[in-house]
Amino acid sequence: MPLAAYLNDTPIFGMRVFVHASAQIIGNVRIGDDSSIWCNTVLRGDVNHIVIGQCTNLQDLTMGHVSHKTSDKPDGSPLIVGDYVTVGHSVILHGCTIGNECMIGMGAVIMDDAIVPDRVMIGAGSLVPPGKVLESGMLYVGRPVKTVRVLTPEEIAYLKYSAEHYVEIKNNYLKSSS
58: pLDDT strictly greater than 90:
yes
Give me the pLDDT at residue 2, please: 81
Give me the mean pLDDT over the 130-159 stretch: 98
* φ/ψ bin of 164: left (φ > 0), alpha (ψ from -120 to 50), beta (otherwise): alpha
Residue 166 exposed, middle or buried by CB count within 10 Å (0-12, 13-18, 19+): buried
Show the domain range for 150: 3-176
- In this structure, what CATH number is given to the domain that contains residue 37? 2.160.10.10
H-helix or E-strand containing 168? helix 153-176
Whole-number Å distance between alpha carbons of 104 and 88: 6
In the predicted model, is pLDDT for residue 59 greater than 80?
Answer: yes
Q: pLDDT tens digits for 68-124?
A: 999 999 999 999 999 999 999 999 999 999 999 999 999 999 999 999 999 999 999
Dihedral-angle region of residue 159 (phi above 0 means left; psi in -120 to 50 means alpha; beta otherwise): alpha
Does the structure show a pLDDT above 80 at 178? no
The pTM is what?
0.96
- How far is Cα 157 from Cα 74, in angstroms, rounded to an integer? 38
When divided into structural domains, the chain yields a total of 1
Amino acid residing at 159: L
Residues 144-168 have a mean pLDDT of 98
21 touches 3 (CB < 8 A): no
At 1, the pLDDT band (50, 70, 90 cuts) reads low
